[in-house]
Structure 1
Amino acid sequence: MPETETETSTEPAPESWEYSLHIPNDLRAVTVSRRTLRLILTMHGLIGLVDVAELLAAELVSNAVLHTKGPAALRVRWTAGVLRIGAWDADPRPPEPPQELGQLVEAEDGRGLGMVRACADLWGWQPLSRFGNRGKFVWCELRAAA
């Protein structure tokens, strides 16, 4: 009877990484966040995701800076072909629901999350509590093209 071998892959597991950028409550943080994200994605060879990822990060960070009074943070994570971009802020209130696509053109407010909804593969938010501090984390995901 011939001996059979169990197939094992010698390929390394897909690379995973995560970065956090702590930002002050300052509108200039939006530009710093976009440029930092562009550098991260370029250095990891994900240039094809840069334009959409920058737009999404700018919207999430803008909301964190404009609608809260405390510090914020941008988090970027790559795992198994999915880029997750998120913004933490110190306000525990849920984000306003995004506008429907048809309403975005005429809306004065609420365009940011509507754009996130339209451009991201998935988005959401979760309340956070750490060391007695409360806040929320609003995130979205982009899948890399196959």
Structure 2
Amino acid sequence: MTEQPNAAGQTYHLTTPNTPLSPKICRDTLTLLLAANGRSELADTARTLVSEVVTNAVTHTVSPTIGMEACVLADGGVRVCVYDDCRAEPLAALDVSRDSEHGRGLFLVQALAHEWGTAPAPRQVRAGGGKHVWFELRREGRTGNGIYRVPTILDN
């Protein structure tokens, strides 16, 4: 039986080198954390979102490392933060042209996450500054059969 998180939730930290393998490592780690904490129903959406955010950090920064923090919330959700050393804010999802070859990842984040945003990285996390992009997924509520439903892009 999986131990349930305390009222404040359980927070996990991962630091990866800034390499093309970082999105996969973060995806797989987040999937394991969600399964271990009884939140497997959030895994597919969480994998998609963390992959997009980490890929952006790998592609658009020269940060030597990428940090991921996942907090499994007591209410059944998860909050994920991805840290890099770049102070520049990511391009807003609505600022990307429809015929652009890149930049649509934040459209997915905006569509699938319950909440998301960017903020400066706290000094205790990134001593040299930088930022984090975060998103939160929540259990929507129980269906009649006890299964939790996560919103999809079609719900918007």
TM-score, L = length of structure 2? 0.77
Report how far residue 130 of structure 1 moved.
2.1
User: What root-mean-square deviation, in Å, do the aligned CA atoms of Structure 1 and Structure 2 show?
Assistant: 2.1
Tell me the alpha carbon deviations over residues 24-83 of structure 1, each in whole angstroms, 9 at most, x when there is no partner: 110101111111111100111111000000000001111111111111111111223331
Instruction: Spell out structure 1 runs of 4+ moving beyond 3 A.
Output: 12-15
Q: Any stretches of 5+ residues in structure 1 without a counterpart?
A: 1-11
Which residue identity does 1:145 align to in structure 2?
E
Structure 1 window deviating more from structure 2 (108-117 vs 44-53): it is: 108-117
**Runs of 5+ unmatched residues, structure 2:** 142-156
Distance change >3 Å, CA 89–CA 13, structure 1 → 2 = closer
Larger Rg: 1
**Structure with greater proportional strand content:** 1
Tell me the secondary structure at the aligned position of residue 119 of structure 2: strand
Choose the corresponding residue for 2:103, options 100, 110, 118: 110
Which position in structure 2 is the counterpart of 1:98? 93
* Aligned positions, number: 133
Tell me, yes or no, if structure 1 residue 54 matches structure 2 residue 67: no
State the TM-score, normalizing by the size of structure 1: 0.82
- Secondary structure of the 1:55 match is helix
Letter paired with 1:27: P
Give the AA of the match of 1:39: L
- Taking the aligned partners of 1:37 and 1:13, their CA distance within structure 2 comes to 19
Aligned residue in 1 for 2:131: 136
